[in-house]
Structure 1
Amino acid sequence: MSVIGVAGAGVMGAGVAQNLAQTGHQVVLIDKDRQALDTALRKIETQARMSRLLGGPAVDAAAVLASITTAVGPGALAETDFVIENITENWELKRELYREMDQICKPETVFVVNTSALPITKVASVTGRPDQVIGVHFMNPVPMKPAVELIPGHHTSAETVRRTRELLGAMGKKAVDVKDACGFISNRVLMLTVNEAAFLVHEGVATAEAVDEVFRSCFGHPMGPLETADLIGVDTILYSVEVLYEHYNDGKYRPCPLLRTMTDAGLHGRKSGRGFYDYGTSA
């Protein structure tokens, strides 16, 4: 049985770890912070118990937790066969982590970059195994979403693609092929939408509630763009828009100042308890 490492215990990392554990994998979940790991385990247990109520399968929460080992720091990834990386969309942090993992992990370990915007070839360039680095953009909440974007880098081998497809299939995911272009499909469109929705609030054109109501009631979206921002994380939205802006050097990706202000103020959405909406306590 493959042992899968999951780097980063935030919203996405917890979701990936839960999805893997629910589908019979042994998981090593790591983070730089013990509190983040403890919080992730609590969230995983809650989400697993609520799975059926949320439209998913019945899940044995105790079995899911028993399949997940946690550790502080990347040293625990030494014996993993895959590592799915989910840390914040910050190039300096990612570069340092991949350099560390490259030294720690087995030579045959595949690195899966769960990024919403960063080019996979750029990430692979800081490792000694660029043929074993591949992008997979998971959607949130991970256990509930049936598809992912699969993004090979310039050097990604056919064998790495095959192994990754096999893993995704075992997780119950359909892989949608995308070329290695910053933002891929989903975030080239979604981040522009969220960013422009934030501008509407920033400019006083409409409230967050009004913006989201139009998308729910008129377009049939289950969530509006600013509710989506709170779910993903306002800080993550900002980082993703900044990456798009820097990569394409195109003014249409200019980040809304409100996103910067909210990120600096700690108004990161559901994970902090307040974003465009007030959730009372940290979710």
Structure 2
Amino acid sequence: MFINRLPRMHFLTLGDFIWDILPLDPSFGATVTRFPAVTTLKLANGRFHSFSDFRRVVCSFAQLIHLYVENVEWRAIAPAYGATFVDPRLGLLWFKSRSEAAISALVDWLVGSRSTETLSDIQIWEQYSSDLPEVQRLMRAVGPRLEHFQVSLQFWTRDKRLDLSANTSLKTLHVRDIDSSSCQHLPFLLEHLSPGSLKDLSLHLLIPTLDDLGVLRVLWRDVANILARDAFALLPTVTIWLVKVPPAAAISIADLAGELRSWTPLDAERTYLRVFPLLALDG
């Protein structure tokens, strides 16, 4: 009923859908192709019968550039027999899912699609250790075309972590979930990075207690040594986001900020300390 009323609709969200009992009717794809102006699609909090159904919906939008996938699952991974798709040329992929099998199916599709020629922005909000080899495969397939990347350090191990040396054109890098247990992997990430094009490095810190602060103080020495190298000399901005802080009774925000600034080897003019907008600061 919206087809003739919204001919210029460019952003569409499909949310809270339960399409996992039966395969999606093929007529659905024929319907959504009649929205030719859609360039941004968000699929949120839903279940497909198969990955093939997910792909059918995505590929129905010929002009799609931005794809957001949030908490979407599919029961079967194997594509439907005889299914044919014309994949879009994605520029941005935003991905968050609680399903361990989701990233593998997504990467299998993307690596074999035209999007590896156009993807310049990849935002991974959640992944498990078992997902990291798949993410690595996508990063290598995209290579120097990638300009913006966001990833979480949560669940990294010494055997499963990311090497970004093939992504030589990165302009922004956002590293999330840096805490006393995951910070040990941050030096590896920075060492396996080509910072020549980097304009903004954002680090999201979680420091719930003074004990965590003490651990981070020691681990940060390796981070500071890497940022002090000549390769990072032209990096204009390092933004440190405080996502979680100790109680105000343990240390004031001013004292915490002063300590964090003392850890950073870059000039004060290039280092910004920010408090995450949703953080409630008691006292």
TM-score by length of 1: 0.29
Q: Which has the higher contact order (CA 8 A, sep 6+)?
A: 1
Which of these two proteins has the greater Rg computed from alpha carbons?
Answer: 2
Structure with a larger share of its residues in helix: 1
TM-score by length of 2: 0.29
Structure with a larger share of its residues in strand: 2
